[in-house]
Amino acid sequence: MYAVIKTGGKQYRVASGDKFKVEKLEADVGAEITFDQVLMVADGDNVKVGAPVLSGAAVKATVVSHGRGDKVRIFKMKRRKHYRKTQGHRQHYTEVQISGISA
């Protein structure tokens, strides 16, 4: 059984027991959270698709950790104009583990 959820402006395909990183959520480590924007739930050949979300469906998860991703370097340059600019960015994330899917 798996589901497609939407959080942080992105969509994720999740199954029970999966561990993955999402955009930063305001929750403590060890807290249980619920994703209520479930777009699709599939159990074998039985597939339910929402328009755009399924009513009554929810995915429960536990917050494992918070952190920052790898550094992304941004470099801008204009040739022959002596213009160079370098920046770096590290995106905050929350790592969650899926504990259950209810349709």
Q: Which of 64, 76, 71, 66 is nearest to 90 (CA)?
A: 71
**Is 99 in contact with 14 (CB distance < 8 Å)?**
no
Looking at residue 41, what is its pLDDT?
A: 95
User: What is the pTM assigned to this prediction?
Assistant: 0.85
CA distance 44 to 97: 22
Sequence-ordered list of residues with C-beta below 8 angstroms from that of 45, at least 6 positions apart, any chain: none
Domain ranges of the chain: 2-102
Query: Residue 103 above 90 pLDDT?
Result: no
Give pLDDT tens digits for 34-65. Answer: 999 999 999 989 999 999 999 999 999 999 99
Mean pLDDT in residue range 7-19:
95
